[in-house]
Structure 1
């Protein structure tokens, strides 16, 4: 039943063509598949039979891939699963073309055989940021908020002039990362992110610093003894160096006297005069490449490329919903994952790869569920691409694949919508076919946030930070297309700084050798110990 399909919305949908943007004014509900008591009973019994027939893979893991959906809490997984089932071509890369009600759908990693919960608190906070949570996953040790792969006994800087904190004894507080362990074992390593490659989640693999925001030297006090994060990537000297680094953050690697190759009126951020992108190819020589656009990415031969640095945006990469409109073009998360595996698998000793869907988190902070969820679907596509690529190479059974999140968000699925209700839409009452009404006699959406910037329309993604905070029941939603890519959901508590992380447990999905160790509710740092045991211990 289409209750909100206006002529203007239809025109917008037609003009959108094949771009990966909102399917404007999509139906308010989708047909649920036929089912009865026998169907439910048979399907349940078949599931148990399949689980009982599984055999654990107890071999060592030659390869490890750690996928992180930044901010991908359980409610995000649920909503993304439903959205992908209801609108299977919403980001253009899913193979199905027949929409369903969505509730019975599964994202690729939800089909993995082993599952646990991860407790995400840090040493000093109940609700954490990405720095200590990723530190826990890649070092096996919990630490303080803002810290990247250093222990809790350092002091986080109080500001850009805190010179004393900038010159702490980092060497004696470093935590060895799983990437460093893999390099020491002679394996190849890679990091991939749709965020800046210097951002907390990817940086925790290779950088050691008490301040996650020291991404370039211009973010530090002058004369700081601790190298900035971009510099630590280029100067990384464990093993034969990181083989693959793909993501955003180009301006953090280039001097403030050099114009950007894509945004040609913008300069880099570095004040030390160094062009770290040039230093990458100088350091690694023949077989090394620095790339910044889709054409150069496509031209990379994984059989001859030994060290690949790809920085596709000055800051974060585009949201998946906006990727095809990028000026220079950007590879998808699935494409970056595939290319990385095809380079890393050339090492007979194996590899470690960490892949982050970093912009799930940013969509939530902006209160924009559409972009957060479509980036979660893009992560599902990347996981599927990894499985398919490994299977084709005969390496799936020797690879431990883990999918998890660093933390959750205050993102809710609420009301009592009928089955098949558009997850991006307004709540339709079961058996009635009309919108459910709040106590103010206006309809409300299934998705909302407990805090943040609140209701906005027509504001693209992160641009909402420049608009006024609009909290609570701010508008009558009756004539609003809540399925539009630029719709920002209502929120309850006003926060001009944007929506916050949440403190509940997140899921761990795993398959391959060692995945059986993920059971029950675990401390987040256990993820490292499983990877370390299965990848390096005999």
Structure 2
């Protein structure tokens, strides 16, 4: 059953239950509890929310399993717009809907700045929410003592930091990583790598002069943490193949050292006594018999995986990868830690392609919903958050149900030209003014999949935003995630709930 149907059914049941009690109290039931013009609609809705919060028990069990979902660039504005996007696809207004994780009982706000920048990138923020230490922009798995590009600082080692992936492995839990970007991209890299520059994904990316650092792909296969990850699913295959080799789908590799890291991964796992499987297409993933393997590497695209709206069916969806990862990891009696990234929300925003960004957010919500259905809610902590915001705004005074991706339906701007409900503070969607007038958007096909939404400031790639991001949590100790806190607090709270790491845990007495 689809997310929006579930929410409507649940709400209908709530209204019926509370409405029946209203019959006894008021002697007359409301005529239509779904009518927003009916005061009982809002009163009963608010009363149910209140009751659910008052009666919700605190789960203080140890979190056997942890799933951390990260919507890259998933700002609060993106969430609000995606609700409308989903609802309008199904003939509803949309604003009244909730995404799968928005029904989680506990919500907080995380502050995302880097040590050196007021607006975060995915590298420093990834280091914060995966290791518990804030870092400099562009660096992965290193303290702020290392500046971007400082290879010697990376090699030195004493500034390296580890986090949830390492702590879970030390607790003999299974670990997994799922992403729609390259598995060596900044966000997933923060789970296992230490790199002075997020761009050093393959050896070809390293500086030609000076000391040679281990690239991120190499660290995934040979590193102490990366080599122990049980499930890795995503894109970025070319970073694992040498330039003189063609991968299974006919694409050339990118590495300059002549090493085939995909083959090396298989050999290394077998030497550890494991039963590994390497995949590169959706069909093999869906048909995989999880009981026959204990290690899984899936590299489904040479670069980032395609946007959902452009996929041709040869690549698995985020939901499909998440399901398979949970199936694999759930075999461990000690539990697991799984990190799942919806990474193409971010890349779409950078291109100011709001349609793609909202659709990727909807796909992300589906993956969360799938995970919730598969795990035991009493023993699994699920946290959903973002690494940073974007500059997309949601403005105007349009009537309910107005196409979220279209024009506002109120008065035009003071220059008598229309404007879209969604726009960006900066980015490639900027178009020069003509005769002191804005570009007339009526001349554009705003319904096109690759329409770049208007931007105030011209820049090749739209930037991130600096405001706080939302955090949603359910399961053991999920009440720890309320309030406003630094982003690096997240892994400490997760570790407390799961009794992993070297800090305070729920298994210790204060």
Fold equivalence (TM over 0.5): yes
Q: Would you say the 8 A contact 2:192–2:226 is kept in 1?
A: no
Q: Partner of 2:439 in structure 1?
A: 475
Q: Deviations over 1:130-162 (max 9, x none)?
A: 0010100111110101111111111322xxxxx
Distance 1:335 1:218 in 2: 32
Q: Would you say the 8 A contact 1:132–1:145 is kept in 2?
A: yes
Cα distance, 1:517–1:168 mapped onto 2, change above 3 Å: closer
Q: Partner of 1:117 in structure 2?
A: 109
Q: Would you say the 8 A contact 1:119–1:506 is kept in 2?
A: yes
Q: Aligned-pair distance for 1:237? A: 3.1
Q: 1:103 aligns with which of 95, 104, 110?
A: 95
Q: 2:457 aligns with which of 485, 493, 500?
A: 493
Q: Aligned-pair distance for 1:34? A: 3.1
Q: 1:136 aligns with which of 128, 137, 154?
A: 128
Q: Partner of 1:402 in structure 2?
A: 383
Q: Partner of 1:34 in structure 2?
A: 35
Count of residues in Structure 1 that have an aligned counterpart in Structure 2: 461
User: 5+ residue gaps in structure 1?
Assistant: 1-32, 88-97, 158-163, 430-435, 456-468
Q: Partner of 1:248 in structure 2?
A: 235
CA RMSD, 1 decimal: 1.7
Q: Would you say the 8 A contact 2:391–2:463 is kept in 1?
A: yes
Distance 1:450 1:167 in 2: 36
Q: Partner of 1:215 in structure 2?
A: 201
2:455 maps to 1:511: no
Q: Would you say the 8 A contact 1:183–1:240 is kept in 2?
A: no
Q: Would you say the 8 A contact 1:234–1:276 is kept in 2?
A: yes
Q: 1:290 aligns with which of 263, 267, 278?
A: 278
Q: Partner of 2:177 in structure 1?
A: 191
Q: Would you say the 8 A contact 1:130–1:407 is kept in 2?
A: yes
Distance 1:239 1:333 in 2: 21
Q: Would you say the 8 A contact 1:508–1:518 is kept in 2?
A: yes
Q: Aligned-pair distance for 1:51? A: 1.5
Q: 2:189 aligns with which of 195, 203, 209?
A: 203
Q: Would you say the 8 A contact 1:236–1:242 is kept in 2?
A: no
User: 5+ residue gaps in structure 2?
Assistant: 1-33, 500-504
Q: Aligned-pair distance for 1:304? A: 2.0
Q: Partner of 1:55 in structure 2?
A: 57
2:240 maps to 1:259: no
Q: Aligned-pair distance for 1:176? A: 1.6
Q: Aligned-pair distance for 1:484? A: 3.1
2:419 maps to 1:444: yes
Q: How does 1:284-323 map onto structure 2 within 5 Å? A: 284-285=269-270, 287-323=275-311
Cα distance, 1:293–1:240 mapped onto 2, change above 3 Å: closer
What secondary structure is seen at the aligned counterpart in 2 of 1:125? coil
Q: Partner of 1:94 in structure 2?
A: none
Q: 1:70 aligns with which of 69, 72, 82?
A: 72
Q: Deviations over 1:421-477 (max 9, x none)?
A: 111111113xxxxxx31122122110000000116xxxxxxxxxxxxx657965323
Distance 1:474 1:278 in 2: 55
Distance 1:239 1:193 in 2: 15
Q: Deviations over 1:284-304 (max 9, x none)?
A: 125211111111112211222
Q: Would you say the 8 A contact 2:348–2:354 is kept in 1?
A: yes
Q: Deviations over 1:241-291 (max 9, x none)?
A: 1100000100000001012332x2x42111111100111111112521111
Q: 1:46 aligns with which of 39, 45, 48?
A: 48
What secondary structure is seen at the aligned counterpart in 2 of 1:246? strand
Q: How does 1:350-361 map onto structure 2 within 5 Å? A: 350-361=335-346
